[in-house]
Amino acid sequence: MADATIAVSAEPTQGAAPANAARRPKLSRGLLCSLPVALTLLFGFVAPLATVAAYAFATPRTFDVFRSFTFANFAAIFDPANTVWTSFVWSLVLAVLTVVVLAVVAYPIAWGLARVFGRWSGFVGVLFVFPLFVSENVRLYGWTLFFIKNGVLDGTLKLVGGSGPEVLYTPTAILFGMVYVYLPFMLFPMSLGLAMIPKELVEAARDLGASRLTIWREIELPLAMPGILIGMLLTFVLAVGAVAESKVLGGQSVIVITHDIEIAFTYAQNWPLGSALALLLTLIVGALALVAMSQLDLDRILGRR
């Protein structure tokens, strides 16, 4: 009897273990692996952006966040007497021109890295990456010494009876600095897109009598377009937020929007206005990027249909 009682009393305990295990929540392996990325995005991107958005609706020239809500900062931006829209236009125009110039300049180099340089392509790529190890301001000040009056260019030309062009402290100098700084960010996504084109496909088109222009238009350009677009979007986002080029090479002859944001956060100590400008710039850039991506049929480019 004692043995039977023990057996009967042990049966519910054995049956309860699987039930408790079934009730215990289990995280999938994929969710566990994604936690570091999710936490990084949460604390490194979402939290700062939410803080900026909160400051954008705070009372001007105060730090009274989460206890006030006003549209006064946006009203000041849209005030007809405010010239901040000039800064927005300059930033967008310079960013677009940078993308266009780099698309023309970087494509032949990327094609060479993918098709011509062969085993030397790694060495050539390092040459373009190496300037990134030097501070951007140091490199821009180096170009200032090159273009300044009685500098490297002007002094060299004076030795042969000429004189250097008046390039420094102009919009042209700003555009040159942006093209120089952001070349790697356009080059490497573009070269990756060109490297993904099958050589057999190009050779087959050549054997069938297709001209070089036809091969480029019908095969190389569509297949390399994802890499090209990634480079364009990356370059545009970085260029629209550039500020060092306008200060160092432009001498503030052109005021970009990031300069106004910096002034609002530092000298003016008007964090709500700076946050409103930053939030508005983020919305404009994000909208332009979404419009550009919506016009692209990735399925057709990737050959899925």
Higher-confidence residue: 43 or 15?
43
Mean per-residue pLDDT for 215-237?
A: 87
Mean per-residue pLDDT for 257-261?
A: 91
Q: Cβ–Cβ contacts within 10 Å for residue 281, how many?
A: 20
- Supply the pLDDT for residue 297: 59
Distance CA 186, CA 226 (A): 12
Quick: pLDDT tens for 125-141.
888 888 888 888 899 99
Distance CA 110, CA 116 (A): 10
- Supply the pLDDT for residue 179: 94
DSSP 133: G
Closest listed residue to residue 243, CA positions, set 146, 178, 287, 170:
178
Mean per-residue pLDDT for 94-103?
A: 95
Q: How far is CA 144 from CA 137, 161, 250, in A?
A: 10, 22, 10
- Supply the pLDDT for residue 22: 52
Mean per-residue pLDDT for 17-34?
A: 65
Closest listed residue to residue 271, CA positions, set 70, 52, 79, 22:
52
Confidence of residue 105 (pLDDT cuts 50, 70, 90): very high
Q: What angle do CA 277, 236, 268 make, to 5 degrees?
A: 25
Closest listed residue to residue 196, CA positions, set 126, 125, 113, 305:
113
- Supply the pLDDT for residue 8: 46
**In the predicted model, is pLDDT for residue 176 greater than 80?**
yes
- Supply the pLDDT for residue 18: 53
For 161: left if phi > 0, alpha if psi spans -120 to 50, otherwise beta; the answer is: left
**In the predicted model, is pLDDT for residue 282 greater than 70?**
yes
Confidence of residue 62 (pLDDT cuts 50, 70, 90): confident
Provide the sign of the torsion angle of the four alpha carbons 36, 37, 42, 45, taken in this order. Answer: positive
**In the predicted model, is pLDDT for residue 158 greater than 90?**
no
DSSP 141: H
Residue with tokens 């692996």: 33
Average pLDDT, the chain: 83
Q: What angle do CA 59, 65, 67 make, to 5 degrees?
A: 85
Distance CA 252, CA 243 (A): 10
Q: Cβ–Cβ contacts within 10 Å for residue 257, how many?
A: 24
Residues 62, 72 contacting (CB under 8 angstroms): no
Q: Residue 274 corresponds to which tokens in the numbers above?
A: 């700076």
- Supply the pLDDT for residue 81: 80
Closest listed residue to residue 212, CA positions, set 92, 87, 111:
111
**In the predicted model, is pLDDT for residue 174 greater than 50?**
yes
What does pTM read for this prediction? 0.80
Percent of the chain with pLDDT over 90: 23
- Supply the pLDDT for residue 95: 94
Residue 88 CB partners (closer than 8 Å, separation 6+): 257, 281, 284
Quick: pLDDT tens for 235-252.
999 999 888 898 899 887
**In the predicted model, is pLDDT for residue 12 greater than 60?**
no
Q: What angle do CA 288, 292, 298 make, to 5 degrees?
A: 150
Mean per-residue pLDDT for 9-37?
A: 63
Mean per-residue pLDDT for 202-224?
A: 86
Structural domains of the chain sorted by starting position, each given as residue range(s) with its CATH number in brackets: 81-301 (1.10.3720.10)
Name the amino acid, one letter, at 117. Answer: F
**In the predicted model, is pLDDT for residue 102 greater than 90?**
yes
**In the predicted model, is pLDDT for residue 6 greater than 50?**
no
- Supply the pLDDT for residue 133: 87
Residue 125 CB partners (closer than 8 Å, separation 6+): 113, 188, 191
- Supply the pLDDT for residue 26: 66
